[in-house]
Structure 1
Amino acid sequence: MLIVTTVDELRRQTGVLMRERGGPVGLVPTMGALHEGHMSLVHRAGEECGVLVVSIFVNPTQFNEQSDLDNYPRTLEADAALCEANGVDIVFAPSPAEVYPQGFATGVHVSGLTDKWEGEFRPGHFDGVATVVAKLFGMVMPDRAYFGEKDFQQLAVVRRMTADLNLPVAVIGCPTVRESEGLAMSSRNSRLGTDDRTSALQISCALQAALVEGMTGNTDPSSLLSLSRDIMERDGILEIEYLAIVDPLTLEPREGELQDRDRIITAVRCGGVRLIDNMELRTQRALQETIPAGQATGTGK
């Protein structure tokens, strides 16, 4: 495995591997502090791509607070070892000056998708995300790029940007990886104390409750949200920033009946740690339509 820090070297080494193996080139963009959630993206990319690049770059333009940027964990040595153990070909770890050289004056803004939910609580965040992802696509020139569904709004923004700019990259969303008790994997989980971690488990429980309720026939979004909110507020520890059921493409709040594959999304603060999560919801009607004729009524043989 190679660790490269410049675009020129990245392209040279990628070209060598392409000539040896062929493509496609897969990219897993990260900010480091890697965990098994990231590795699930690596494994998916490794199965589908001839050359696998993981970028590790703590992007300064997507942080709202300087202190958050300063305190973000930087563990390149450990991250590189994890990448090597999981079959990564190239770790691309550029400096801020390599990504944003002197005189850099261009940004990417995705209208509509970025002014709500995470965008409301983290103004400017998605401009930084869209800009750095566009930069990474231009530097790495991947055929496929892999993103976790845990950051569902980010995934929607990247997909919209890629389509709008006609970028020749397939954006692949991968399922959220969870710890054994259900908590969505995140580098922030390490900052949770024992009691806070117990409270944080209510997040996935609340979303799962809405999922089950929808699958059993409840199509009222307000009822499902009330159920989830009651679970999250049970012990008074979690502070909900937002909780909504949204259209998975537009991220607009669902009005009227729940639609199959809507998303329930949330952000909460738990003991000073901000956590996000989401789940895809299914409807009873859609699930019944996927059951072979006869089995739904018990007459199948």
Structure 2
Amino acid sequence: MEICRTVEAIRDTVAGWRRAGDRVALVPTMGALHAGHMALVGQAQAQADRVVASIFVNPTQFGDPKDLAAYPRTIEADTRLLEDHGVGALFLPAVEAMYPEGDETIVETSRLAGLYHGAVRPGHFRGVATVVTKLLNIVQPDVALFGEKDYQQLAVIRRMVRDLHMPVDILGVPTLREPDGLAMSSRNVRLSPEDRAAAPVLSRALDRAEALAAEGAPVETMMQAIRDVIGSEPRAVLKGLDIVDAASFRPVVRHLTRRAGIMLSAEFGGVLLIDQREIDPPQETR
């Protein structure tokens, strides 16, 4: 596996692959890798001849400097894991490489960036869209893969790529979960033992909403059920809850008539976790 720390180095590596006629996939990450990231790598290998993984803890998507400082960094272990899984190149840039002195250009999806999870974390999706644009421009992959757990992030990236006519396919990969249902996340390592034991309440709340959707329950009934389940766990603080149309990303009211996405965020001991679930209406209403 080649380790590329500069824009020039990763571009040279990819150019060599291109000359050989290879199709290239990109898996952008912020490190602290786990099995969910390796699922992205596996899907990337099924989509392309060569895989680039990037590790960059992007400062512009963190609103709280303490959150940025606390984000886990495990570069040595991550590098071994990527190499063991057959990744062709690791792009490992410094902040100065991604945001040179005098850098002033941003990318933002004007509507999506301020909605839902974006209202909980102002500026977050502007930072995401900007850094992903940079990564796509630097690597110029044929396909880039992102986890569906970050449901709104995936929608922001798809909208950005569509609006800016970027020549890349964006592929979402289903969320991987721990045996107790907790969505795999790099943030999970920051949970205390007590908060880690409490955190699967997110998955249980989504399970309850999905069951109600299958019964044809109104959207407000599903949302109240989620609030009740999370409210039963004293260590959980609900921060965001939205049910949106999976295609338009607009709020769903009254009853489901087609596929929708539930987006959920909650804090456990000051650590913000997110989860999501796509749900369908009963068969007879589709």
TM-score category, normalised to shorter length: over 0.9
Provide the C-alpha distance between the structure 2 equivalents of 1:272 and 1:226, rounded to a whole number of angstroms.
Answer: 24
- Which has the larger Rg? 1
Which stretch of the first structure deviates more once superposed, 130-139 or 218-227?
Answer: 218-227
Q: Could you tell me whether the CA contact under 8 Å between 2:201 and 2:233 is conserved in 1?
A: no
Q: Which residue identity does 2:92 align to in structure 1?
A: A
* Match of residue 274 from structure 1: 272
With normalisation by structure 2, the TM-score equals 0.96
Q: Which residue identity does 1:159 align to in structure 2?
A: R
* Match of residue 299 from structure 1: none
**Deviation per CA, 1:85-122, whole angstroms, max 9, x where unpaired?**
11100000011111111221110111111112221111
Please point out which of 237, 242, 245 is paired with 1:244. Answer: 242
Identity %: 45
**Deviation per CA, 1:141-176, whole angstroms, max 9, x where unpaired?**
001000000000000000000000000010101101
Secondary structure (helix, strand or coil) at the match of 1:55 reads strand
- State the number of aligned residues: 286
* Match of residue 69 from structure 1: 68
1:70: how far off?
A: 2.0
* Match of residue 46 from structure 1: 45
Q: Please tell me whether residue 121 in structure 1 is matched to residue 140 in structure 2.
A: no
Unaligned runs of 5+ in 2: none
Q: Could you tell me whether the CA contact under 8 Å between 2:206 and 2:276 is conserved in 1?
A: yes
Provide the C-alpha distance between the structure 2 equivalents of 1:113 and 1:38, rounded to a whole number of angstroms.
Answer: 25
> Which aligned pairs between 1:158-237 and structure 2 lie closer than 5 A?
158-215=157-214, 217-237=215-235
Unaligned runs of 5+ in 1: 290-301
Q: Could you tell me whether the CA contact under 8 Å between 1:18 and 1:50 is conserved in 2?
A: no
**Deviation per CA, 1:162-215, whole angstroms, max 9, x where unpaired?**
000000010101101101110000111112222212221111011011112212
With normalisation by structure 1, the TM-score equals 0.91
Provide the C-alpha distance between the structure 2 equivalents of 1:71 and 1:127, rounded to a whole number of angstroms.
Answer: 21
1:233: how far off?
A: 0.7
* Match of residue 86 from structure 2: 87
Provide the C-alpha distance between the structure 1 equivalents of 2:228 and 2:130, rounded to a whole number of angstroms.
Answer: 38
Which runs of structure 1 show a deviation greater than 6 angstroms over 4 or more consecutive aligned residues?
A: none
The RMSD of aligned alpha carbons is: 1.4
